[in-house]
Structure 1
Amino acid sequence: MNLQHPYRALRRATLAVCTLVASLHGHAADDGAKQFALGKKLFVQGAAPACALCHALKDAGSTGAVGPILDDLKPDAARVANALRNGLGNMPAYKATLQEEQILALAHYVAKASGGAR
């Protein structure tokens, strides 16, 4: 260890950790953006029937009048995923027609777009 610069190694290690954390955050943001885009696509046209037919959600440009207005309800992702898997009221279950990845993407999208994400 160089006595003139006893903290140099600590600074380098700290910089390396910060760089790693920043790079991981970038990947997580990319994954979140991809999941959001997939969820929006499924909401508008991918699910059968499409969520937008029944639900109003400003971000999707949908004005469905059968289900609740999602911008007002602001459900979190867990609530949306549960409704998609098991159905809720007049809403059918989608677990037989959507893959789990699609359900999670839809749940992520609805929660973020409606302001219900936590």
Structure 2
Amino acid sequence: MRSRFWGAAVLAGLWMAGAHAQPATDEGRKLFLTGATPACALCHTLKKAGATGQIGPDLDELQPDAARVEKAIRNGIGPMPAFKSLTDEQIRTLARYVASATGAAP
């Protein structure tokens, strides 16, 4: 009986995590496509976002983790500017989205 309870609790937890993940994914994709100025999609390729930019690195090939993406967004890197107009939460959401979309570690 006890194992049924724990099994149901685990399944409920996974379902709730999935329910909350979609809005964050949608927001991250929106930020990638139009939320930043200039938009990330103008320079970067990211298949899950439908982006085919040719200026910056192909993020699908690079597979940066969220910490690396966050650092690049905050500080800029090479010709990429720092995105000072994004809030801390937007930066974290965007970084997690890119890492997740490329299959990298969150």
The answer to whether the superposition gives a TM-score over 0.5 is: yes
Question: Counterparts of 1:85 and 1:25 in 2: how far apart (Å)?
Answer: 32
Instruction: Tell me what 2:78 maps to.
Output: 89
Counterparts of 1:43-62 in structure 2, within 5 Å, are 43-62=32-51
Deviations 1:28-53, CA, capped at 9 Å, x for gaps: 11222221111111111111111001
Indicate yes or no: 2:104 matched with 1:104. Answer: no
Deviations 1:49-88, CA, capped at 9 Å, x for gaps: 1100111112222221221011110111111111112211
Letter aligned with residue 35 of structure 1: A
SS, match of residue 117 in structure 1: coil
Unaligned residue ranges in structure 1 (runs of 5+):
1-10
Structure with larger Rg: 1
Indicate yes or no: 2:96 matched with 1:116. Answer: no
Instruction: Tell me what 1:16 maps to.
Output: 5
Question: Counterparts of 2:19 and 2:88 in 1: how far apart (Å)?
Answer: 19
CA RMSD of aligned residues (A): 1.6
Percent identical residues: 49
Question: Counterparts of 1:83 and 1:26 in 2: how far apart (Å)?
Answer: 32
Letter aligned with residue 90 of structure 1: P
Alignment TM-score, normalising by the size of structure 1: 0.78
Report how many residues are paired. 106
- Following superposition, the deviation at residue 110 of structure 1 comes to 1.0
Which deviates further from its counterpart, 40-49 or 53-62?
53-62
Unaligned residue ranges in structure 2 (runs of 5+):
none
Alignment TM-score, normalising by the size of structure 2: 0.86
